[in-house]
Amino acid sequence: MIRRIVAASAALAISASLAHAQEVKVGVNLPYTGIGAEFAQLIDRGMEMYLKLNADKVKPYKITLIKRDAKNPGGADAKIVTQELLTQEKVDILAGWVYSPNAIASAPIVTAGKKLSVIMNAGTAHITNMSPYYVRTSFSMWHAGYAIGEAAAKQLKAKTAVVGYTDFPPGKDSLAAFKRSFEANGGKVIDEIPMGGAGAVPDMTPFFQRAKDKKPDVFFVFVPAGDHAAAVTKTYGALGMRQAGIKLIGPGDITQDTKLQAMGDAAVGLITMHHYHADLDNAENKRFVAAWKKEYGANTTPDFMAVGGYDGMALIAHVVQQLKGNIDTDKALASIKGWKFNSPRGPISVDPDTRDIIMNEYLSEVVKGSDGKLHQKVIGKIDNVKDACKAQKIAPCA
Amino acid sequence: MSVFPTATDHPAARALAGRHRLRLWEPLPWLLALAFYVAFPTYLGFGTDLLVTILFAISLDLVLGYAGIVTLGHAAFFGAGAYTVGMLAFHGIWAEPITSLIAAAAVAALVGLLSGLVLLRTTGLTLLMLTLCTMALLEEAANLAHDWTGGFDGLPSIAIPPLFGLFEFNPLYPNTQYLYALGVLFICFVFVRVLVYSPFGQSLTGIRENTLRMHAVGAPVRMRLIVCYTISAAIAGIAGGLWAQANAYVNLSTLGLDRAATVLIILVLGGYGRLYGAFVGAVAYMVLSHLLAKIYPTAWQLGLGLLLVIIALFARGGILGVGETLLRWFGRRRPSP
Identify whether residues A188 and A236 lie together within a single domain: yes
> What residues of A are in contact with residue B152 (Cβ under 8 Å)?
101, 168-169, 198
Q: Looking at this predicted complex, what is its ipTM?
A: 0.81
The alpha-carbon gap from B195 to the nearest alpha carbon of chain A, in Å, equals: 31
d(CA A71, CA A76): 9
Residue of B nearest to A90 (CA): B42
The domain of A54 spans 2-139+284-355
Q: What is the pLDDT of residue A169?
A: 77
Identify whether residues A57 and A24 lie together within a single domain: yes
**CB contact, 8 Å: A14 with chain B?**
no
Q: What is the pLDDT of residue B180?
A: 93
Cα angle B294, A84, A122; round to 5: 85
Q: Per-residue pLDDT averaged across B179-202, rounded?
A: 93
Q: What is the pLDDT of residue A296?
A: 93
Q: Do B49 and A76 lie within an 8 Å CB cutoff?
A: yes
Domain contains A38: yes
Contact A31, A99 (CB under 8 A): yes
Query: For chain B, what is the mean pLDDT?
Result: 88
* C-alpha pair distances (Å), B44 with each of A14, B97, B122: 33, 19, 41
pLDDT band at A342 (very low <50, low <70, confident <90, very high): very high
The alpha-carbon gap from A7 to the nearest alpha carbon of chain B, in Å, equals: 33
Q: What is the pLDDT of residue A11?
A: 52
pLDDT in tens, A259-300: 888 888 888 888 999 999 999 999 999 999 999 999 999 889
B273 backbone φψ class: left, alpha, beta (φ>0; ψ -120 to 50): left
Domain contains A214: yes
Whose CA is closest to A50, among A282, A258, A287, A328? A287
Q: What is the pLDDT of residue B251?
A: 86
Q: What is the pLDDT of residue B337?
A: 46
Query: For chain A, what is the mean pLDDT?
Result: 88
Q: What is the pLDDT of residue B171?
A: 80
Q: Which of residues 123-142 of A touch B (CB under 8 A)?
A: 124, 130
The alpha-carbon gap from A126 to the nearest alpha carbon of chain B, in Å, equals: 11
Alpha helices (runs of H) in A63-214, residue ranges in sequence order: 76-87, 100-113, 141-154, 169-184, 205-213
A222 backbone φψ class: left, alpha, beta (φ>0; ψ -120 to 50): beta
**CB contact, 8 Å: B300 with chain A?**
yes
For residue B93, is pLDDT > 90? Answer: no
For residue A375, is pLDDT > 70? Answer: yes
Identify whether residues A364 and A349 lie together within a single domain: no
> What residues of B are in contact with residue A104 (Cβ under 8 Å)?
153-154, 156, 249, 251
Q: What is the pLDDT of residue A2?
A: 57
Q: Per-residue pLDDT averaged across B7-23, rounded?
A: 75
Q: Do A32 and B298 lie within an 8 Å CB cutoff?
A: yes
Domain ranges of chain B: 41-276
Q: Per-residue pLDDT averaged across B41-64, rounded?
A: 93
* C-alpha pair distances (Å), B269 with each of B56, B68, B191, B264, B310: 15, 17, 23, 8, 10
What is the tally of structural domains in chain A? 2
Give the range among A179-183, A373-377, B124-128, B328-332 with minimum mean pLDDT.
B328-332
- Give strand pairing partners of A362: A274, A381
Of the partner residues A33, A112, A168, the one whose CB lies closest to the CB of residue B171: A112
Q: What is the pLDDT of residue B272?
A: 87
**DSSP classification of residue A346:** E
Whose CA is closest to B122, among B135, B112, B131? B131
The CATH number of whichever domain residue A63 belongs to comes to 3.40.50.2300
Which strands form A116-119's sheet, in the order they lie side by side? A62-69, A23-30, A93-96, A116-119, A134-136
What's this model's pTM, rounded to 2 decimal places?
A: 0.85
Q: Do A169 and B42 lie within an 8 Å CB cutoff?
A: no
Domain contains A279: no
Domain contains A310: yes
Interface probe, candidates B52, B83, B172, B301, chain A, greatest A C-beta count within 10 A: B172
pLDDT band at B1 (very low <50, low <70, confident <90, very high): very low
Question: What backbone torsions phi and psi does residue A264 show, to the nearest 5 degrees?
Answer: 75, -170
Q: What is the pLDDT of residue B88?
A: 92
Length of chain B: 337
pLDDT in tens, A122-133: 888 888 999 999
d(CA B293, CA A68): 7
**CB contact, 8 Å: B295 with chain A?**
no
Q: Do B253 and A74 lie within an 8 Å CB cutoff?
A: yes
pLDDT in tens, B277-310: 999 999 999 998 888 888 888 888 888 888 888 8
For residue A5, is pLDDT > 80? Answer: no
Q: What is the pLDDT of residue B24?
A: 83
- Helices vs strands, H then E, count in chain A: 14, 14
CB atoms under 10 Å from CB of B70, counted, come to: 14
Q: Do A109 and B171 lie within an 8 Å CB cutoff?
A: yes
d(CA A344, CA A348): 10
> What residues of A are in contact with residue B249 (Cβ under 8 Å)?
75, 104-105, 108
Contact B244, B32 (CB under 8 A): no
pLDDT band at A391 (very low <50, low <70, confident <90, very high): confident
> What residues of A are in contact with residue B52 (Cβ under 8 Å)?
none
**CB contact, 8 Å: B175 with chain A?**
no
pLDDT in tens, A142-172: 999 999 999 999 988 999 999 999 887 788 8
Whose CA is closest to B251, among A77, A187, A179? A77
Identify whether residues A293 and A267 lie together within a single domain: no
Identify whether residues A294 and A345 lie together within a single domain: yes
d(CA A149, CA A160): 11
Q: Do A169 and B43 lie within an 8 Å CB cutoff?
A: no
- Give strand pairing partners of A349: A340, A358
Identify whether residues A267 and A391 lie together within a single domain: yes
Whose CA is closest to A365, among A167, A156, A99? A156
d(CA B66, CA A56): 65
Identify whether residues A368 and A290 lie together within a single domain: no
Identify whether residues A56 and A95 lie together within a single domain: yes
Q: What is the pLDDT of residue A94?
A: 94
Question: What backbone torsions phi and psi does residue A350 show, to the nearest 5 degrees?
Answer: -110, 130
**CB contact, 8 Å: B151 with chain A?**
yes
Identify whether residues A224 and A304 lie together within a single domain: no
Whose CA is closest to B242, among B231, B232, B230, B254? B254
